Amino acid sequence: MKYLLFLAALTLPCLVIGQDQKSSTEPTLKSILLEQLRSTHNQVEWFVPANTAVAGLTAEQASWTDQKGNHSVGQLAAHLVYWNQRNLARFRGEAVSKFNNNDETFTSFDSARWNVTVRQLDEVMTAWEREVEAADEQKLKSWYSTIARIGAHNAYHIGQMIYVRKAQGSWDPEKGVKE
């Protein structure tokens, strides 16, 4: 009996430490926003992230459309680059150019710059993650709604990219989400 009490006394501090560690990992505004941004960038979770959606496409494949008025993967990627860069500049307090027409954010895609577009998409999403990581709570409280919508906007267009790739025949189902 003394031995069991001795073991219980030894394990009690471990249980308390474990509880303290558990409470320190509770979600925060920052952790939730970062999780949303990362899941649309490069972490496979419930859906395919952007890096996977554009991986392995040639410039020709990125330019392909179904001829029904839908956008190409390249156009969708250019659109995401535009809006992520623009909102990131605003988040940083930088001046942004006058906004003209949302259609131009798609039609600005140039297949000769496909590799640049892919790199820019990765860079701007990485930059968003770094900015949110470094931001204080007050700034995040004033921007949380916009950042959450950026994640939703990214996810929406990434889904379109996968749809286009499937229609084109360039999607590898092995790159999809698996349980």
Instruction: Please tell me the pTM assigned to this model.
Output: 0.84
- Cβ atoms 147, 32 nearer than 8 A: no
Q: Decide if 161 contacts 53 (C-beta within 8 A).
A: yes
Burial class (CB in 10 A: 0-12, 13-18, 19+), 18: exposed
Closest by CA position to 118, among listed 67, 31, 36, 59: 59
Per-residue pLDDT, 178: 67
Domains and CATH numbers, the chain: 45-171 (1.20.120)
pLDDT in tens, 52-72: 999 999 999 999 999 999 999
- Tell me: the pLDDT tens digits for 99-131? 889 999 999 999 999 999 999 999 999 999 999
> How do residues 152-164 score in pLDDT, each as one tens digit?
999 999 999 999 9
Instruction: Check: CB of residue 20 under 8 Å from CB of residue 13.
Output: no
Given a cut of 60, is residue 44 above it in pLDDT? yes
d(CA 10, CA 13): 7
Spatial contact of 36 and 151, defined as CB atoms under 8 Å apart: yes
